[in-house]
Structure formats: structure tokens, C-alpha cells
Amino acid sequence: MASFRRERIANLIREEVSRLILRGEIKDPRVDTLVSVHRVEVSKDLDTARLFVGGFLDEAALETCVEGLNSAAGFIQARLARAIQTRNTPKVRFYLDRSIEEGFAMNQRLKELGSETSDGEVSKAPDERTDSSG
């Protein structure tokens, strides 16, 4: 039950903060509207929320945007208090989410390894290989 509540609050936080960013309600010039909230982790006691953000910007612009979001954390928390309506609103902290870039890099490495191992051959799955018994 508690994990369901944390998940529900995390989703509400993600939706509300995404809405604030998209509508440009965060007036800090460092915050770009092309940034999105990828994931929210709420602590078990609902005291803190870690928001992981990313977007299609370069690394320096994303880091600047995270600084702007952390600077506006008080404003964002006040807006969340109205939206969530719980006794205590989690304190928000923003982090740069590098999982998408890491995923792209991993895919690229796998493609490179696949092309190195094939060397002109098409590798087959174990069940596709010719079977001498049948």
C-alpha cells in the first residue's frame, strides 16, 4: 500500500513539474522548455523527491537547466503543495538524467561488436543453425 502511494505521488509530481516547465511558469532564464522530467523517486517517508530531468540539449545546457530548476525548487515545491494536497510536500531536488545517452552509447557499442564478430558472416541464433541429427 505504501509503495502504491509513493508511486502515485511520484506520478503527480512528475506531471505537475512537467506542466510547469512546459508552460514556462518557471521564470528562471536557465530553465529551457525542451527539458522534461524522466523519472521521480520519492523517499519512503515522503520527505524528499529526486527528479531526474533530461532533454535534447547539449550537456552544458542541461547542467545549467538543472541549476535553474534547483534554484526554483522553493517555487516548484509551493506549486506542488497545492496540487498534491498532502500534509507535507516532499522537498524537490533535480538531477541530470544520463540514462538515455548511456542507452544510446550502449546500443552503439553493441552494433560495433556485432559488426566485428560477423566479419561478413551472418550470425544465426542457436535454434536456426543446421542440425545434423534431423
Cell numbers that stand for 95 in this block: 538531477
What pLDDT was estimated at residue 130?
54
| pTM (predicted TM-score) | 0.75
What per-residue confidence (pLDDT) applies to 99? Answer: 79
pLDDT score recorded for residue 71: 96
Cα atoms found within 13 Å of the Cα of residue 14, Cβ hemisphere only: 18
Q: What local confidence, expressed as pLDDT, does residue 102 receive?
A: 79
Give the integer Cα–Cα distance in Å for 52 and 61. 15
Domain boundaries of the chain, sorted by first residue:
2-118
Tell me how far apart the alpha carbons of residues 5 and 106 are, in angstroms, rounded to a whole number. 34
> Rounded to whole angstroms, how far apart are CA atoms 80 and 90?
9
CATH class given for the domain over 2-118 = alpha beta
Strands 48-55 and 91-96: parallel
Query: 111 φ, ψ to 5°?
Result: -65, -40
Each residue's pLDDT tens digit in the chain (134 positions)?
478 989 999 999 999 999 999 999 999 999 999 999 999 999 999 999 999 999 888 889 999 999 999 999 999 999 999 988 888 899 999 999 987 777 888 888 888 888 877 655 555 555 555 555 54
Write out the three cell numbers for 131: 542440425
Whether the CB-CB separation of 59 and 23 falls below 8 Å is answered with no
Residues 53, 38: Cα–Cα separation, whole Å: 5
Please say whether the beta carbons of 79 and 50 come within 8 A.
no
